[in-house]
């Protein structure tokens, strides 16, 4: 079982498209669309939302994603009419509908509990903003400051070796699959990374964040540096570089 997802949109086509996209990332998760009105027009439907939530529930709860304010109102009304047991395990996430649905789907796919799936959805907005700001002037200033601090290390007393940060284990790989680290391959990579007790990065980006991985835009031929620290660092690096070298079966 896993947490289910419901996508509520004023457009049936938008809801269905998001479900299709998120479903590619998380084929084992129940993701249901509740888009448009009962007659297929633009708007939202109390009955469609109710039906989608009941169908998405697999016993572990349901996270609902909404596009506009009135969709949230419809979802909240529908939840009021659920039986107490089901209503207790349904949450409406405050997140962008596309990014949130994708992030939530991956979190549910790797076995995240209801609260963790909600957190993944709601963190997607911040992750998306961080990705878009990677080359911002502010970051450039911070990078320059970091370089300056680094140049002053020779005059700084370093802490004892026992107190220094753990040295990461790392390995390089080259993407050989046509789609690189996008869509399904990115989700497969994140799912695998999430199984290890380790802090893992890909070219300096959190390997367990789907949006950060996809935001790098790494395509075929791109060089990838996988680094990890923690209990399962070596296992993580070995498994992830093997997956990259496999081409994801493409």
Catalytic residues: 10
Neighbour count for residue 43 (Cβ, 10 Å): 17
Q: Report residue 217 CA to chain centroid gap.
A: 15
Distance CA 17, CA 15 (A): 5
Classify residue 176 by its DSSP letter: -
- What is the β-pairing status of strands 223-229 and 169-174? antiparallel
Cα dihedral angle (113, 117, 119, 123), rounded to 10 degrees? 150
Q: What is the DSSP string of 69-108?
A: HHHHHHHHHHHHTS-HHHHTTEEE--S-HHHHHHHHHHHH
250: its two tokens: 């493409």
Backbone angles phi, psi at 219, to 5 degrees: -110, -175
93: its two tokens: 């996430």
Backbone angles phi, psi at 63, to 5 degrees: -110, 130
């Amino acid at each position: 079982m896993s947490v289910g997802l419901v996508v509520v949109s004023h457009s049936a086509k938008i809801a269905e498209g998001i479900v299709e996209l998120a479903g590619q990332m998380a084929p084992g998760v129940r993701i249901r669309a509740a888009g448009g009105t009962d007659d297929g027009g633009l708007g939202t439907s109390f009955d469609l939302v109710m039906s989608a939530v009941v169908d998405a529930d697999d016993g572990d709860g349901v996270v609902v994603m909404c596009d506009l304010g009135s969709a949230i109102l419809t979802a909240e009304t529908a939840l009021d009419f659920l039986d107490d047991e089901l209503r207790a395990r349904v949450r409406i996430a405050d997140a962008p509908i596309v990014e949130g649905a994708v992030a939530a789907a991956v979190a549910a796919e790797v076995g995240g509990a209801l609260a963790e799936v909600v957190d993944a959805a709601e963190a997607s907005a911040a992750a998306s903003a961080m990705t878009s700001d990677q080359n911002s002037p502010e970051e450039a200033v911070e990078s320059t400051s970091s370089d300056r601090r680094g140049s002053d290390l020779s005059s700084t007393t370093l802490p004892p070796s026992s107190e220094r940060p753990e040295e990461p284990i790392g390995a390089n790989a080259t993407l050989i699959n046509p789609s690189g680290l996008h869509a399904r391959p990115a989700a497969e990579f994140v799912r695998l990374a999430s199984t290890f007790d380790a802090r893992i990065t890909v070219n300096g980006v959190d390997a367990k964040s789907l949006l950060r991985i996809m935001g790098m835009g790494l395509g075929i031929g791109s060089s990838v540096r996988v680094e990890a620290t923690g209990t399962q660092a070596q296992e993580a690096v070995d498994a992830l570089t093997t997956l990259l070298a496999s081409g994801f079966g493409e």
